[in-house]
Every structure is written in structure tokens, then in C-alpha cells.
Chain A
């Protein structure tokens, strides 16, 4: 039933925002309302994804790939939180700030994957001799 709850919350929020409007003095409510609904839906989607994520990390433990699974999961988490923040910034009308957050997210993911690149290059170097 959680899918119905999520859709009902999103529709309720959208109807409320369109009713209250984005007039002067009420715009803070519409931003806060949509940000709150968005954050709650993201929390609900994390709850749904939790069994899959724990299975993926268990797979890594079983196959001795904990480093790679850790990098994968951390990149996923960084992308998740940066997308949430960029969405909230865009909701406030700060599209430039949102694009800066997304740029930081890209660099963060590259930095998280850096040990992986090093491993691959060193493996290639050892193979070439």
C-alpha cells in the first residue's frame, strides 16, 4: 500500500500548492511544502530500496569485492543526496545553485571512484610489464 500513500502525498501536496499559490508572502509555504513532500518521498523510496542495497553489499562480501561495492554504494548515496539538494534549490528558484551542487556531485563521484581507477591502471601496468 505504500505506493498509494506516496502518490496520495504527492497529489495532496501539488493540490495544496496550487490552491495556496505562489503569491508574495505565501511562496515560502509552497517551497517548504514541496520540499517536505519531496524529502518524505525520498525517505520512502530509500526504505523500499534498502533490501536491494543490503543484498548488493552482501554479494560484495561473498565475492571479496567489498572495496568496489563500497565505492558503488557511496557514489549512489552521494548522487542521491546531491539530487535531493539540487531539487530543493531549484524549487526555491536558485537554478544556478542547483547546477553547482550537481557539479560538486560529479567531482565527488570521480573522487570516490579514484581508487578504482588506480587499481585498474596498476593492474594494466602489471599486465603490460
Chain B
């Protein structure tokens, strides 16, 4: 049970949320949207790797 990965994702999301808030409040909306897109990409890459793990485990356990 990889709790470290979950906490990593929470950390990235919090950091991106805070950065997005700061940048949009200081008027740099384009940089704020770039930061949020980058954060979303990082989280999706981690998610896709975990989905790959799940599919591989199901394949080996159930013999599909």
C-alpha cells in the first residue's frame, strides 16, 4: 500500500493550487494556467502508472 505516492500527489496538488492562487491574484493568469496544466500532467502520469500496475496485477492474479 503505497501511501508515499498518495502523499506525493497531495503535495503536488496543494503546491499547484497555492501557486495558481498566488499567480492569478498577482495578475499572471497565463503562468497560473501553465502551472496548473503542468501539475495536472504530473498527477495524470502517476495515475496512469498506477492503472498499469492494477491491470498487470489483475492479469497475473486472475489469469486473463
Residues on A with beta carbons closer than 8 Å to the beta carbon of B13: 16, 20, 29, 32-33
Kindly report which residue of chain A lies nearest to residue B16, judged by CB atoms: A29
- The interface-forming segment of A35-43, A93-101, A121-129 is A35-43
Determine if B63 and A36 form an interchain contact, defined as CB atoms under 8 angstroms apart: no
A-B Cβ contacts below 8 A, count? 94
Shortest CB distance A29–B (Å): 4
Q: Decide if B36 touches A32 in the complex (CB within 8 Å).
A: no
**Among candidates B36, B40, B53, B61, residue contacting A77 with C-beta atoms closer than 8 Å:** B61
Please name the residue on chain A nearest to B53 by beta carbon.
A43
Cβ contact within 8 Å between B1 and A26: no
Interface residues of B in 3-58 (CB under 8 A from A): 3, 5-6, 9-10, 13-14, 16-17, 20, 33, 36, 39-40, 43-44, 46-47, 50-51, 53-55, 57-58
B54 touches A84 (CB 8 A): yes
- CB within 8 A of A40: which of B6, B16, B55, B63? B6
Q: A13 with B39: in contact, given A35-B47, A77-B61, A84-B54 (CB under 8 Å)?
A: no
Which residues of A have CB within 8 Å of B17? 20, 26, 29
Given contact pairs A33-B10, A37-B6, A50 touches B62 in the complex (Cβ within 8 A): no
- Using CB atoms and an 8 Å cutoff, list the residues of chain B in contact with chain A: 1-3, 5-6, 9-10, 13-14, 16-17, 20, 33, 36, 39-40, 43-44, 46-47, 50-51, 53-55, 57-59, 61-64
Can you list 21 residue pairs at the A/B interface with Cβ under 8 Å?
Answer: A2-B1, A5-B1, A6-B1, A9-B3, A12-B6, A12-B10, A20-B14, A28-B40, A28-B44, A29-B17, A32-B13, A36-B6, A40-B2, A42-B54, A43-B50, A46-B61, A49-B61, A53-B62, A77-B62, A77-B63, A81-B55
